[in-house]
Chain A
Amino acid sequence: TQLLEQSPQFLSIQEGENLTVYCNSSSVFSSLQWYRQEPGEGPVLLVTVVTGGEVKKLKRLTFQFGDARKDSSLHITAAQPGDTGLYLCAGATTGNQFYFGTGTSLTVIP
């Protein structure tokens, strides 16, 4: 069962452009995490959001948790080639398991 759908699946943009990645579900999560994964490596945590409506900023990255705690978004301002990678959202349920999204593969072209 895939609880979290991410869109778009693939994204290729020019350096300096802005982008938004979406993570959607019909399920309610107690928290939601965003990870970035580079080729040949494991995912690395970027942020955890826990409150409905919460917004967190990490330099040029802005993360938002939906009011109903069913969805989240990641916005990148002025993308750089170093932002290239696979972005994964992961939702935690009351059963204490994390369910990962399908992933968004981002390529930033210099």
Chain B
Amino acid sequence: NAGVTQTPKFQVLKTGQSMTLQCAQDMNHNSMYWYRQDPGMGLRLIYYSASEGTTDKGEVPNGYNVSRLNKREFSLRLESAAPSQTSVYFCASSEPPLSYYNEQFFGPGTRLTVL
């Protein structure tokens, strides 16, 4: 099993450009999440999907949109990239839906730079 995979691994954008970060998991998990990680800030939740067909905002959703395409895939879209969105983005999945006994499995991350 590959676990959680993310594409691309690296991306450089110019301000105003758009892009979609892809995430897929092969563990048959119901819940999926997008986080961003910035130095000294830990990980902050952008959006999550408790199950196929549902999405909810996390701590820092502004400037992002998500799509839960099916049970396996959860994408994150930046419609008009800004330098403040330069970060490392992590996708994670878990089963059952997020609860305090739950373990989140993380992908390797996408390193995004917005110039």
Contacts and interface: CB of A to CB of B under 8 A. Distances in A.
Interface of B is mostly: loop
Tier of interface size on chain A: 20 to 34
A97 interface: yes
Interface string B20-52: 000000000000000100001111110010000
Tier of interface size on chain B: 20 to 34
Given A41-B109, A42-B90, A96 B98 contact: yes
A44 interface: yes
Nearest to B42: A100
A44 B48 CA distance: 19
A99 B101 CA distance: 15
Interface of B: 4, 35, 40-45, 48, 58-59, 90, 92, 97-101, 103-104, 106-109
28 contacts: A1-B59, A2-B41, A30-B100, A33-B103, A40-B108, A41-B106, A41-B108, A42-B4, A42-B92, A43-B90, A43-B106, A44-B106, A48-B101, A50-B100, A50-B101, A88-B42, A88-B43, A92-B98, A92-B100, A97-B58, A97-B59, A100-B35, A100-B42, A100-B43, A101-B42, A102-B40, A102-B41, A102-B42
